[in-house]
Structure 1
Amino acid sequence: MKRIGLFLLTNIAVIAVAMLVMNLLGVGNYMEGTSLNLGNLFMFALIFGFAGSFVSLAMSKWMAKMSTGAKVIEQPRNADETWLLETVARQAAKAGIKTPEVAIYDSPEPNAFATGMTKNKSLVAVSTGLLRSMRQNEVEAVLGHEVAHIANGDMVTMALLQGVVNTFVIFFAKIVAYVVDRVILKNQEEGHSWTFIIVDMVAQIFFGILASMITMWFSRKREFHADNGGAYLAGKENMIAALKRLQTMQPGVLPDQMAAFGISAGGSKFGALFMSHPPLEERIAALEATPQSALKVA
């Protein structure tokens, strides 16, 4: 129920922001009688496409804490929490960013994620399962991987990419719906007919699948860079050891908005093209082939 509530809240916020921006910019209806106003349609698609991405980005830290139950370490209660704070602070300084908030969430499955709207207002969270099942040097490498995501600006980059693909999905889906409805079927009904609505929905699903392939391809490329950054921040051998340890474990399931920034993810039931993370053996091989001098953040 909590995830459903958060999903509804996010979508209400997206619609509210999009409508406010449309009113401020004076964007009119893209359907004028039986004609399609391409200028208004593009602005409509642009606003709604980016509203979803940036509302999700702006709410990402709050959503992460709410959906996973992650508790930020304000005052460390034990040596492990002290070590976590000190390690992330040291890595953040080396990466040239402000120290992120550090949190722990209760889950028996090993995983970790990073999120946040900017490099200097971010969050790194690890599961209790990861802390229990990994050696300290491996946990350090996982933290380095997540700090590298932040330092590389991956959250903002992914939001921008998602906004672009969302825009074109909405724009081209409505053009296809208009062509089918008005040109092929020659419907002269003003406004949105049922044919337009149904074709628009089907076209958005089709273009959305293609868009997902693009975003997941970029996500997989970004994971190699985060591994590289993690090796720079925590040591190459430690990063390789952490990835090898993950090969022996079942990764924890994260909410969709954080899954792309987790340390690991399971395979996609829709195939390799829809995986947010490359296979662990590919990540290990890439890191082993990278010379020490090439390790870096950003």
Structure 2
Amino acid sequence: MKRIGLFLLTNIAVIAVAMLAMNILGVGNYMQGTSLNLNNLFMFALIFGFAGSFVSLAMSKWMAKMSTGAQVITQPRNADEQWLVETVTRQAAKAGIKTPEVAIYDSPEPNAFATGMTKNNSLVAVSTGLMRSMRQNEVEAVLGHEVAHVANGDMVTMALLQGVLNTFVIFFAKIVAYIVDRVVLKNEQEGHSWTFIIVDMVAQILFGILASMIAMAFSRYREFHADNGGAYLAGKENMIAALRRLQTMQPGELPDQMAAFGISAKKSSFGDLFKSHPDLEDRIARLEATSQEQLKVA
């Protein structure tokens, strides 16, 4: 129920921001009579495409805390929390970024994630299940992986990519809908017909599938770099040990907006092209083939 409420709140915020931007920029209706104004359509697609990405990015820390129940450690209550804060602080300094907020959330499943709008306004969180099931050197490597995500600017880069993909999905779906409605079916009704609306929805789903494949390919590429950064920050052998430990575990499930930045993810039901993370075997092999001199953040 909470996730549904957050989803609705996010979409209301996206629509509000997009409508405000359209009013400020003076973007008119893209459907004028029976004609399609491509300039207005592109601006409409651009605004709505990027509004969704950047509203989600701006709300990401708050959404993460609300959806997982993550509690930011302001005053460590025990030795484990003290160690978490000190480790992330040390790694952030080595990576050249401001120390992220450090949080822990109650979940029996082992996972961790990073989120936040910028490198210097971020959050790193780990589950209680991860803390219980991993050795300290392995947890340190997981934290390094997440700090590397932040230092590499992965959240912003992913938002930019998603904005571009959203823009083209909206733009080309409406062009396809217009062609089917006006050219193929020769509908002369002004404005949006039911045919246009239905074809537009179907085309957005199909183009959205292709866009997801591109986004997930980039996500997998980014994971290799985060592993490399984690090895630089926490030690190559520790990073490999953490990934090997994950091979013996069932990864925890994270909300969609954070899944790409978790240390691991459940296998996709739709095949390898829709996986946000490479196979652990491939990640371990890539690290084993990487020399110490090649380890770095960003």
**CA offsets 1:37-93 (integer angstroms, 9 cap, x no match):** 000000000000000000000000000000000000000011111000000000000
DSSP 3-state at the match of 1:87? helix
TM-score (norm 2): 1.00
**CA offsets 1:159-202 (integer angstroms, 9 cap, x no match):** 00000000000000000000000000000000000000000000
Alignment of 1:179-198 (within 5 A): 179-198=179-198
**CA offsets 1:254-296 (integer angstroms, 9 cap, x no match):** 0000000000001100000000000000000000000000000
Q: Which amino acid aligns with 1:243?
A: L
Q: Which amino acid aligns with 1:288?
A: E
Q: C-alpha separation between the residues in 2 aligned to 1:194 and 1:48?
A: 21
Give 1:156's aligned residue.
Answer: 156
Verify: 1:139 aligned to 2:139, yes or no: yes
Q: C-alpha separation between the residues in 1 aligned to 2:19 and 2:183?
A: 30
Q: C-alpha separation between the residues in 1 aligned to 2:42 and 2:94?
A: 43
Give 1:27's aligned residue.
Answer: 27
Give 1:46's aligned residue.
Answer: 46
Give 2:246's aligned residue.
Answer: 246
Give 2:105's aligned residue.
Answer: 105
**CA offsets 1:208-247 (integer angstroms, 9 cap, x no match):** 0000000000000000000000000000000000000000
> Shift of residue 116 of structure 1?
0.1
> Shift of residue 103 of structure 1?
0.2
Give 1:128's aligned residue.
Answer: 128
Q: C-alpha separation between the residues in 1 aligned to 2:32 and 2:70?
A: 49
Give 1:201's aligned residue.
Answer: 201
Question: What is the number of residues matched between the two proteins?
Answer: 298
What is the aligned-residue RMSD (CA, Å)? 0.2
Alignment of 1:164-243 (within 5 A): 164-243=164-243
Q: C-alpha separation between the residues in 2 aligned to 1:214 and 1:285?
A: 23
Q: C-alpha separation between the residues in 1 aligned to 2:266 and 2:117?
A: 25
Verify: 1:95 aligned to 2:95, yes or no: yes
Give 2:118's aligned residue.
Answer: 118
Verify: 1:86 aligned to 2:98, yes or no: no
DSSP 3-state at the match of 2:114? strand
Q: C-alpha separation between the residues in 1 aligned to 2:237 and 2:177?
A: 54
DSSP 3-state at the match of 2:74? coil
Q: C-alpha separation between the residues in 2 aligned to 1:169 and 1:79?
A: 49
Give 1:17's aligned residue.
Answer: 17
TM-score (norm 1): 1.00
Q: C-alpha separation between the residues in 2 aligned to 1:266 and 1:81?
A: 27
Give 1:4's aligned residue.
Answer: 4
Q: C-alpha separation between the residues in 1 aligned to 2:25 and 2:188?
A: 29
Q: C-alpha separation between the residues in 2 aligned to 1:249 and 1:96?
A: 32
Give 1:264's aligned residue.
Answer: 264
- The percentage of counterpart residues that share the same residue type is 89
Alignment of 1:61-72 (within 5 A): 61-72=61-72
Q: C-alpha separation between the residues in 1 aligned to 2:244 and 2:127?
A: 18
Verify: 1:295 aligned to 2:295, yes or no: yes
Runs (5+) with no aligned partner, structure 1: none
DSSP 3-state at the match of 1:278? coil
DSSP 3-state at the match of 1:3? helix
Runs (5+) with no aligned partner, structure 2: none
**CA offsets 1:6-54 (integer angstroms, 9 cap, x no match):** 0000000000000000000000000000000000000000000000000
